[in-house]
Amino acid sequence: MSVTGMNHFTVLTDKLDQTVSFYKDVLKLEEGYRPPLKFPGAWMYSNGAAVLHIIAGRPLPDEPAGVLDHMAFSATGLASVVENLDSREIDYTLRRQNGSNTWQLFCFDPSGAKVELDFDPSEPAPDKSSA
């Protein structure tokens, strides 16, 4: 056996609608098919693949991150993402990765899961860049 790729991440939430909205409206993932499971939730898609499963109706851990520090997505449109986050008053940290100069933007979803968005180094700095 060998791992051939990442399938998806799962986040738990007690704020299903807000969490779906964050991933749909802020990160531009698409809500898509989810099998008829016996608990509430949503599956979020990118380019036709379910990359994030959201589960509601279960107890949340005391520490939202648990042992998973963060999830990372490749992204495009740094300036528009920053503008979208600013308009929603969502805090974020933006920096350049040492060596590669990849733009790394970190924020939290409504349930406290840390999200990283990685942008190509050639993308221009947003007007409000702290990098």
Q: Domains in the chain, please, with CATH?
A: 9-58+68-119 (3.10.180.10)
pLDDT below 50 — which residues of the chain?
129-131
Quote the pLDDT of residue 59: 85
Q: What is the mean pLDDT of the chain?
A: 89
pTM, full prediction: 0.84
Helix locations, 1-131, DSSP H: 16-21, 78-87
Quote the pLDDT of residue 129: 45
Report which of 70, 124, 63, 114 is spatially closest to residue 92, judged by C-alpha positions: 114
Report the Cα 33 to chain-centroid distance in Å: 19
